[in-house]
Structure 1
Amino acid sequence: MERRFHFISGLPRSGSTLLSAILSQNPRFYAGMSGPLGGAFNTLLGDLSGRNEYSVFITDEQRKRMLKGLFGNYYGSEYEAEVVFDTNRVWCTRMRHLKELFPQGKVIACVRHVSWIIDSVEQLIRKNAFQPSSIFNYQPGGTVYSRAEGLANGDGMVGYAYNALKEAFYGQDTANLMLLRYETLVSDPARAIAAVYDFIGERVYPHDFENIRYQAEEFDLRAGTPGLHTIGKKVAVRERTSVLPPDVFRRFENDVFWLDPALNPHHVRVI
């Protein structure tokens, strides 16, 4: 049976690691944290463009075969799963490419209130005060205001992903796109995961939401951000007070376009 590919994308700190950990309980599935394929895809796409003097010998069909081959070669015999979920925020900017290469592939974009995303990053930075983070290029300076600004600008970790999400949401290739709210995933994981299975056309697997396992300690430590991909053993809502100054938190309060049906012209499924 040919391996099937789906894609996890969307906003950072919005449940993609938790979603991957849950899906990986299914022995037929493989899902992990963000990997190298998104960057490799963009690099190869650029190398096959007109800036390469040999591009006159390359047809679109050859480009498609080479780009699709990245997935088959990366997820080779080391991975036994029939269904692979590749995670990368770049996939929201590649909806047309994915539609052409994987017509049956689905893109699940994880979303969360942007204020709480900024808050989540700031909490990690403060928790690891003696370890400058790769999120800010290992620079130890700055304030909560400059960090929020850096995250939210168009090239920042949050701003780029947010703009990519809007590109996918308002684009013309939304048939294979679903938005999964972090709030739904942690408060009602059974409903959230059932919706994912329905969206990808698979039979529901009896997941154990009381015993979630995922490890990425080595990666997080090297990134100077221990806890970046840490998840609790049990899926649950964890109430707490924001560590952000009130004006920073309020700045992003209205950046939740997916909650307004009037702003969903293509009727993208939002769970």
Structure 2
Amino acid sequence: MSRTIHFISGLPRSGSTLLAALLRQNPRFHAGMSGPMAGMFAAMLGEMSGRNEFSMFITDALRQRVLHGLFENYYADSPQDVIFDTNRAWCTRLPALRQLLPDSRVIACVRHVGWIVDSIERLVRKNAFSPSSIFNYALGGTVYTRANGVVANDGVVGYAYDALKEAFYGEDTDRLMLVQYESLVKDPHTVLKAIYDFIGEPPFAHDVEHVAYSADEFDQRAGTPGLHVVRPNVSMVERPTILPPDLFRRFEHDAFWQGAAANPRGVRVI
């Protein structure tokens, strides 16, 4: 390909938009919020599967050329040499990405699940008159039903969590790095240095005091203003949770990536 493709994935509300906002300060890099590429990838792969009556004419080599073309053409108007495509589904595609884009790497943003649920609940309460796409614009329920919904296997958090575990315990962990939200907001320079080393790019001087990113129109259409807001300076904001204590405690042991004993394949965790 004419450019290098990498991926940002992991858990929602865990710093992926902030990371993209920082990376795009480098004029050689293209990065942004979650986009449609992963869905298009899956749809095209499905259409080239056995459910297509002409699939006997479609070889694996042809599938790979078509999917190569998807990346090449989608980013044809991007002048940057290095592309970071963001989507939580990429953690489920590591075996395919190894074959299709052998130089690619996946950076997964992670955070304690309790704080993710807390962050989503804060958005709900902040936008009390704007039903959110996170819950299919449905109204009603309580903080418990909303939490149960997002952490379910098909919920916005539950799906991403299971996808992350698939990647973390899979066979392609040499191309996977986890970035903890706390590390990113407390020491962004160290995190960025580790990422540059991981992807084999020369260092760049990032400005963590003047970060810019906006997706206001998307957030408004999603019924969740503020969903992709990035503060202009990177910092850790300490605050108590707004979740009931029993609900917050439900997730206290879900950070499976912490500790050497829980990391049998030696995944890089920053």
Normalising by structure 2, what TM-score?
A: 0.99
Q: Which residue of 1 is the match for residue 120 of structure 2?
A: 121
Deviation of 1:68 (Å): 1.6
Q: Which residue of 2 is the match for residue 19 of structure 1?
A: 19
In 2, Cα distance between equivalents of 1:137 and 1:144 = 16
Deviation of 1:263 (Å): 1.2
In 2, Cα distance between equivalents of 1:263 and 1:56 = 43
Q: Which residue of 2 is the match for residue 52 of structure 1?
A: 52
How big is each residue's C-alpha offset from its partner over 1:200-225, in whole Å with a ceiling of 9 and x where there is no partner?
A: 00011000000000000000000000
Q: Which residue of 2 is the match for residue 143 of structure 1?
A: 142
In 1, Cα distance between equivalents of 2:121 and 2:68 = 37
Q: Which residue of 2 is the match for residue 188 of structure 1?
A: 187
Deviation of 1:140 (Å): 1.3
2:34 is aligned with what amino acid? S
1:9 is aligned with what amino acid? S
In 2, Cα distance between equivalents of 1:52 and 1:23 = 40
State the superposition RMSD in angstroms.
0.7
Q: Which residue of 2 is the match for residue 31 of structure 1?
A: 31
3-state SS of 1:247 partner: helix
Question: Within the alignment, does 1:171 sit opposite 2:152 as a pair?
Answer: no
In 1, Cα distance between equivalents of 2:27 and 2:204 = 9
3-state SS of 2:207 partner: coil
How big is each residue's C-alpha offset from its partner over 1:160-182, in whole Å with a ceiling of 9 and x where there is no partner?
A: 00000000000011110000000
Q: Which residue of 1 is the match for residue 97 of structure 2?
A: 98
Deviation of 1:48 (Å): 0.5
Q: Which residue of 2 is the match for residue 80 of structure 1?
A: 79
Q: Which residue of 2 is the match for residue 3 of structure 1?
A: 3
Deviation of 1:69 (Å): 1.1
How big is each residue's C-alpha offset from its partner over 1:182-212, in whole Å with a ceiling of 9 and x where there is no partner?
A: 0000000000000000000001100000000
Question: Within the alignment, does 1:208 sit opposite 2:207 as a pair?
Answer: yes
Q: Which residue of 2 is the match for residue 229 of structure 1?
A: 228
In 1, Cα distance between equivalents of 2:217 and 2:238 = 28
In 1, Cα distance between equivalents of 2:223 and 2:116 = 18
Residue identity over aligned pairs, in percent, reads 63
Q: Which residue of 1 is the match for residue 259 of structure 2?
A: 260
In 2, Cα distance between equivalents of 1:141 and 1:69 = 44
Structure 2 segments unaligned to the other structure (5+ residues): none
3-state SS of 2:54 partner: helix
1:91 is aligned with what amino acid? W
Q: Which residue of 1 is the match for residue 111 of structure 2?
A: 112
In 2, Cα distance between equivalents of 1:140 and 1:188 = 38
3-state SS of 1:175 partner: helix
1:231 is aligned with what amino acid? V
In 2, Cα distance between equivalents of 1:167 and 1:243 = 30
In 2, Cα distance between equivalents of 1:140 and 1:195 = 42
How big is each residue's C-alpha offset from its partner over 1:99-118, in whole Å with a ceiling of 9 and x where there is no partner?
A: 00110100000000100000
1:223 is aligned with what amino acid? A
3-state SS of 1:14 partner: coil
* 4+ aligned runs moved over 6 Å, structure 1: none
